[in-house]
Amino acid sequence: MKTAMPVGISGVGCLSGAGGTLGECMDSLFEGRRNPAPPTRFCGNHAISYPVFEVPESAIPGNIMDSPRISFTAKLALAAAHEAVGDAGLDRASLRNKKVGVCIGTTVGVALNNEVFYGELHRGGSPEMAPITRFLSSNPAEVIAREFDLTGPCQTVVNACSSGTDAVGIGASWIQSGLCDIVIAGGADEVCHITYNGFISLMITDETPCKPFDRDRKGLNLGEGAAMLILESADSCREREKSPRARFLAYASSSDAYHLTAPHPQGEGLKRALYEALRLSHRNGSDIAFINAHGTATPDNDRVEGRVLHETLPGVPFFSTKGFTGHTLGAAGAIEAAFTVACLERGMIPGNIGFTTFDPEVTASPAAATTAVTGSTAVSQSLAFGGCNGVLVLGKGEN
C-alpha cells in the first residue's frame, strides 16, 4: 500500500484489571493505582503464587455475565463492545442501516480451558458436552456480530500478542477499501490455567508486580480484558454529524523470522514495521507525541524495544501500561490503542509504573511520572511470539 487513508475512531470501550470502563482505567493509570493478586478462578499449584490482573465479574453487566452459553473472553468482548457502540452514539437500529464488520484479536480463545473435558474423554469417560458447546458459541467476533445483528465481514485474528493491534489494522483496511462503513475492531482475552503455567515454565513471570523497562525487571504479570474501537468512514461520520474522538492513520506489520519466542536481538522486524507505519501515515519522528510501547517487563522484550525506540525515535516519550493491566495477550494491542486515544485527548501520558532504575542495556528510559505531551500523533506497538510486530499510528480527533 502506497498511502493510508485516515479512518475515524468514533467510539471506544475498554475494561481490564485497571477498571471496568475506559474512564476507570485511565483514572487508575493517572493515579498510579494497581492491584495484582493471585488468580481466583483456578489454582496454579505452584510454590509461588504469581500475581495476575483479573477483571472482577462485577465489572461486566449482569445480562452478559449471566449467560452460560459463552466464555468469559466473549463476555469481556461484549462488555467492551457495548461501551464502544454507546460511546459512538450508535445502537442496534442505527447499525442495521450500515455496512458493519467485526474484527477481533485473541490468543488461545480459551480453547485450552476445556482440559477437564478432554481428560475425562481420554480416560474413556462420557463427559458432558457443555464445555464444547460453549467453546463453539464463543468465537469473540461472531458473538459481537450476533449481539448487534451484524451481517458484514466477521473475523477473529489469532496472532499471539499482536492480535489486537492486527485486528484494528485489518478492520481499518475494510473501511479504506469501501467494504464497510463501520467496523467494531479490538481484542479480548482471559487469564487461564494453561497460559499461566506456560509463562511460568518459560521463566518470564515476575512473582511481584512487574517493572517494565526497569533494570531489575524479572518478567511479566498476566492480565485479562478487552477493548473495542468503532472505526468509521468519513462519509458515515459526516452523515451522522459525528466528530471522531481520534483517527486511525496507519498500520504496518512485519515478521522477524528469527525465533519462536524471542525478538530479533537488533529488533530488525520491529524497525521495519515502525518505519513502514510512519511512511504510510506521512509522519516522521518529530511528529510523534509519544509511544505506547509493548513493554512486557521481560528482559528480552524491553531490551530490544528500548534500543529500537532509542534508535528510531530518540527523545520521544514512551511508556508501558502493562504495569497497570498485566499482559493481556491478544487483547493487549487493542487495550493500548484505546489508552493511546485517551492520552491524545488528555495531552498527558501516565508514568511507567514499576520503573525506578535505568537499565544501560535498554539504552532509553520511559516516562517515570505523568508527563504533558504536545502534538497530535502517537504510536502504539505490539511484539509477539513467532516474531510478529504490529504498529498503529493514531491521530487526535477534532474535539
Return the active site residues. Answer: 161, 294, 327
How many whole angstroms separate alpha carbon 208 and alpha carbon 358? 19
How many whole angstroms separate alpha carbon 44 and alpha carbon 126? 26
Pairing of strands 182-189, 225-232: antiparallel
How many whole angstroms separate alpha carbon 61 and alpha carbon 66? 9
> Which helix or strand (DSSP H or E) is residue 353 part of?
none
The residue whose grid cell reads 482440559 is: 115
Helix axes of 22-31 and 332-346: crossing angle, nearest 10 degrees: 70
Of the chain, the end-to-end C-alpha distance in Å amounts to 29
Helix, strand, coil content of the chain in percent (nearest 5): 35, 20, 40
Q: Of 190, 202, 295, 220, give the one whose Cα is nearest residue 51.
A: 220
How many whole angstroms separate alpha carbon 338 and alpha carbon 14? 7
- Going from the C-alpha of 166 to that of each of 54, 105, 336, the distances in angstroms are 24, 7, 12
For 265-316, give the DSSP string. Answer: TT-HHHHHHHHHHHHHHT--GGGEEEEE------HHHHHHHHHHHHHHSTT-
Quick check: 309 and 318 in contact, CB under 8 A?
yes
How many whole angstroms separate alpha carbon 248 and alpha carbon 234? 12
Quick check: 187 and 335 in contact, CB under 8 A?
yes
* Residues listed for the chain: 399
Spell out a b/e string for 20-46, using b for 16 or more CB atoms within 10 Å of the CB, else e: bbbeebbebbbeeebebeebeeeeeee
